[in-house]
Amino acid sequence: MINVGDRIQDFLENTLLIRGIEKDTALIDGGYIDSIQILELAMFIEETCEVTLVADDMEVENFASIDAMATYVSQKRKLVS
């Protein structure tokens, strides 16, 4: 089974065509993603990770890196279960 971080990295590389990133790369501060791509990532996370994101979830720190997104999804799943 592919973990959340790997799924997100695959999406970034193959859908958004962002190359040369690691799981701890600063995506927003490093200029790799913009606000539209954050929304695309949010939709991807909802569809593939079976979580529902609300407006309060759209914090920069939740999308700062692949690791940050994976941690956030894990925490969100724990709240639901």
Predicted TM-score of the model (pTM): 0.90
**For residues 38-60, average pLDDT:** 92
80 and 51 in contact (C-beta within 8 Å)? yes
Residue 1 pLDDT more than 70? no
pLDDT of amino acid 74: 92
Place of tokens 């995506």: 27
Residue 76: pLDDT band with limits 50, 70, 90:
confident
Domains of the chain: 4-80 (1.10.1200.10)
pLDDT of amino acid 24: 97
Summarize pLDDT for 5-23 with one digit per residue, the tens: 999 999 999 999 999 999 9
